[in-house]
Amino acid sequence: MNWKIILGSNSPRRRELMDGLGLPYEVRLMPGTDESYPDGLAPEEIPVFISQKKASAYTLASDELLITADTIVWLDGRVMGKPHDNQEACSMLRHLRERTHHVITGVTLSSIGLQHSFSCTSDVTFGPLTDDEIVYYVTHFHPLDKAGAYGIQEWIGYVGVTGLRGSYFNVMGLPVQRLYTELKKLNAI
């Protein structure tokens, strides 16, 4: 089937990663999607639940395949979402330094009569970061739109990340290799 691929995301990183796949797609946004989730979900179920919730806001044509995604940072049994301000961003980064955390992205592929979801987990380890380095990063890179208050592709990833197990692109917000594999399974490409 010749699907028209729709990316349901405002994330510039997800658009960059989709561009890297070389597939034609269109961005379509549904503002104000509620990103809450019920208590008791396993960590890998949380971003899948939210990606499905995002997908349910769309009305699709019969030839359209929608991609929605959500990424969380998981450490110490809790989600570290997007910080509300610089102070919270600095606090999150202090909590992440010299530790390994999980970055989990849930992806949902939807069309009329189809919904297929999956998750991808990567483990990221930060080395020591001084308070001055954390403040520098938050002040200069403004990571308030990023889960866990950081972008691995930015300065803090260059100087702070000492280990990565799993997909680098998943940490950026979209596990493109897995997405490509799933799109092939659906004969979408």
User: Partners of 127 in the beta sheet?
Assistant: none
| Residue 132 annotated among the catalytic residues of the structure | no
Token pair 């450490």 in the structure block, residue: 75
- C-alpha dist (Å) from residue 10 to 28, 54, 104, 158, 173: 8, 12, 18, 25, 12
**Could you tell me which of 167, 61, 67, 81 has the C-alpha nearest to residue 117?**
67
Expressed in angstroms, the distance from the first to the final Cα of the chain is: 8
Residue whose tokens read 């044509």? 61
Distance CA 109, CA 51 (A): 9
DSSP state of 38: -
Rounded to whole angstroms, how far apart are CA atoms 166 and 120?
8
Distance CA 22, CA 156 (A): 28
Per annotation, catalytic residue among 19, 34, 39, 70: 70
Catalytic residues: 70
